[in-house]
Structure 1
Amino acid sequence: MLGLFVLGFSVAHAADWPRQIADSRGVHTLDHKPLRIVSTSVTLTGSLLAIDAPVVASGATAPNNRVADENGFLRQWGEIAKQRKLARLYIGEPNAEAVAAQMPDLILISATGGDSALALYDQLSAIAPTLIINYDDKSWQTLLTQLGEITGQEQQAKARISDFNQQLAKVKQQMTLTPQPVSALVYNPAAHSANLWTADSAQGQLLSQLGFTLATLPEGLHASQSQGKRHDIIQLGGENLAAGLNGEALFLF
């Protein structure tokens, strides 16, 4: 099969459907353009909304905090979710029955992260075509392009990326960079630990586009893998926390 290979995901380019898509579990055939997409990953949902994909329901995170609204949807797209009447599947723990109730014709799950429903893959794939999306090793632009091809929203994805590139060029002209290199992280004060963004992460790649350089970890520094092997973060805690934050500036996400 001739097709386009994008970081672990190949999508057949044909004028019409069906499309054959390969992920880590094999090749899947989508007979038609999806009309009812369920996203079990709250991280992926924002990208789907951005390209006007027909996502009807989404998993959620803990509600009513600095990152999530009362529905557990991320604040940067929560209002759009309300306008489009996006249903909340569940908070945290994945639930196959909640997914089935939405009668999806496509289910998307993330390969890694706290919002991954990978453990329910067999149950979900019995409901509808289910694709595994790995977002921990690519820029948001690559992810958006990937989702656009899967959902038939290629042109919308291109338009969003084009708009961003124009804004990026304007912002770069107005910026004065901090001393380089920098350490970019999410800090957890309760555990006295941090997740350090890598150059492979969407956050790290965005900083690079803006002109920043990420600091390199000292040799021999031990990092935790309590969240499994991931490309986008390095887990630092305990005595390694201070040593690992060796940039000339710290960026807290």
Structure 2
Amino acid sequence: MAGTGFRVFSGTVALLLSLVFASHAFAEGWPRKVITSHGTVTLEHMPQRIVSTSVTVTGTLLAINAPVVASGATAPNSRIADSQGFFRQWGDVAKQRGVQRLYIGEPNAEAIAGQAPDLIIIAATGGDSALKLYDQLSAIAPVMVVSYDDKSWQELATELGQATGKEADAARVITQFSARETSLKSALDLPPQPVSALVFSTDGKSANLWTAVSPQGKLLEQLGFTLAQVPPDFAASYSQGKRHDIIQLAGEKMPEAMNGQTLLLFSAHQADTQRLLTNSFLAQLPAVQSQRVYAMGDDTFRLDYYSASNMLDQLEKLFVTH
């Protein structure tokens, strides 16, 4: 009987402890529901093993100290990516934290499952989207679908912070960046406005123009830049209707849409500005004739805390008189 009494006592204690922990979890916001474009996802506890299928989103997750264990990657050893295929602006941080590479390019459900994630994050659009595997991945762990083409990296960080319990970390890194941004804005000697912000193709035959809702466009406007308006008929060129951050330009349409008094080239360095300046097709542009073409850096194709900070450094070099 004594043994039975002890077991009952032990069981009661265990139940009480579980209730205490459960009430603590609810007090801290767990379980919590996350609303996504693919429905509401319920997270029973704060994620401990996050897998990011989007190499673009991974940088923001790292910036808010989310527990990322593995990430999708892009082609390694390029201008934008290190030997792992991780973006150079945060590749060292990923290495320090032991983030594993899932795959290069094409998403792989088996590799994702092998990481035993308790949260899987998918980009809704872009070349690093694994949306086609949504149903398959949902059987492995809760799946959160996020968009990065219609918001600033700060907005994305806030969204991810709320989902992962890293609200305080997200607020901290945003505050730090905002202070730097405010300081820089007051010191900038802006070039002639408005500006066209774009990614110029290596063959010089096409370009992607950043819109006002893109992270790049948002950051420029926050700093006091004015984005040049494109002719109304270009609205139909929004990346086949799937993305909001770019307008695709090609051939004879390029000069008409690249109408800013200054051109800011993203995913670009100094050699790329010379390539555009010597492009005969664009020779009549006011910005080209006045030599107002500036590179924002190789790592600005996708903005996160790390690349956006590097972009502030570059803008300071270009437009602040010391």
TM-score greater than 0.5 by the shorter chain:
yes
Normalising by structure 2, report the TM-score: 0.72
Is there any run of 5+ residues in structure 2 with no aligned partner, and where?
Answer: 1-25, 267-322
- C-alpha contact 2:238 2:244 (8 A) present in aligned 1: no
- C-alpha contact 1:111 1:134 (8 A) present in aligned 2: yes
Closer, same or farther in 2 for the Cα pair 1:87/1:175, shift >3 Å?
same
- 1:237 alignment partner AA: A
2:265 — aligned with what? 252
Q: Within 5 Å, which residues of 2 pair with 1:165-244? A: 165-190=178-203, 192-221=205-234, 224-225=237-238, 228-244=241-257
User: 1:140 offset after TM fit, Å?
Assistant: 1.0
- C-alpha contact 1:57 1:89 (8 A) present in aligned 2: yes
- 1:60 alignment partner AA: A
**1:30 alignment partner, one of 28, 37, 43:** 43
1:159 — aligned with what? 172
User: 1:31 offset after TM fit, Å?
Assistant: 0.2
User: 1:190 offset after TM fit, Å?
Assistant: 2.9
1:68 — aligned with what? 81
User: 1:228 offset after TM fit, Å?
Assistant: 4.6
Deviant stretches of 4+, over 3 Å: 221-228
Q: Secondary structure at the match of 2:199?
A: strand
1:142 — aligned with what? 155
Cα-to-partner distance string for 1:152-173 (whole Å, 9 max, x where unaligned): 0000000001101111121112
Closer, same or farther in 2 for the Cα pair 1:228/1:118, shift >3 Å?
farther
Closer, same or farther in 2 for the Cα pair 1:227/1:124, shift >3 Å?
farther
- 2:198 alignment partner AA: L
Cα-to-partner distance string for 1:46-95 (whole Å, 9 max, x where unaligned): 00000100000000011111111111100110000000010000111111
CA RMSD of aligned residues (A): 1.5
Is there any run of 5+ residues in structure 1 with no aligned partner, and where?
Answer: 1-12
Aligned length: 241
Determine which structure has more spread, i.e. the larger CA radius of gyration.
Answer: 2
Structure 1 or 2: more strand by fraction: 1
Cα-to-partner distance string for 1:166-213 (whole Å, 9 max, x where unaligned): 111211122100111000011112372111111001110000011000
User: 1:226 offset after TM fit, Å?
Assistant: 5.1
- 1:190 alignment partner AA: D
Q: Within 5 Å, which residues of 2 pair with 1:3-152? A: 15-152=28-165
User: 1:127 offset after TM fit, Å?
Assistant: 0.6
How many Å separate the matches in 2 of 1:128 and 1:50? 23
Q: Secondary structure at the match of 2:232?
A: coil
Segment of structure 1 superposing worse, 215-224 or 63-72: 215-224
2:312 — aligned with what? none
Normalising by structure 1, report the TM-score: 0.92
Segment of structure 1 superposing worse, 54-63 or 213-222: 213-222
